[in-house]
């Protein structure tokens, strides 16, 4: 378990966010195909969409735009 957490922590945040979005999309799609209740499907879809927005915000706030770099400057590690 510790090895898995180490790999997750070392993963680029954008790649991890894309993976989570793909899993969310798969779960929402599977829900629409298997659950008959439209209300539950709508709630699950909205939760997936909000989670995607939160992930996007998290990833974008941790990225420095290329225009902010000066020649030879390195981004500080966090």
Domain edges within the chain: 12-64
User: pLDDT band for position 16 (50/70/90)?
Assistant: confident
What is the secondary structure of the chain as a DSSP string? -HHHHHHHHHS-HHHHHHHHHHHHHHHHHHHHHH---HHHHHHHHHHHHHHHHHHHHHHHHT---GGG--TT--PPP-
Determine the pLDDT at residue 73: 60
Instruction: Work out the angle between the directed axes of helices 13-34 and 38-61 (0-180°, nearest 10).
Output: 180
pLDDT digits (tens, 9 = 90+) for 24-68: 889 888 988 998 898 988 888 898 889 888 888 888 777 766 666
């Amino acid at each position: 378990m510790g090895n898995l957490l180490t790999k997750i922590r070392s993963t680029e945040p954008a790649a991890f966010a894309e993976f989570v979005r793909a899993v969310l999309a798969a779960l929402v799609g599977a829900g629409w195909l298997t659950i008959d209740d439209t209300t539950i499907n709508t709630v699950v879809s909205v939760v997936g969409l909000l989670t995607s927005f939160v992930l996007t915000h998290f990833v974008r706030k941790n990225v420095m735009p290329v225009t902010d770099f000066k020649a030879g400057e390195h981004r500080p590690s966090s």
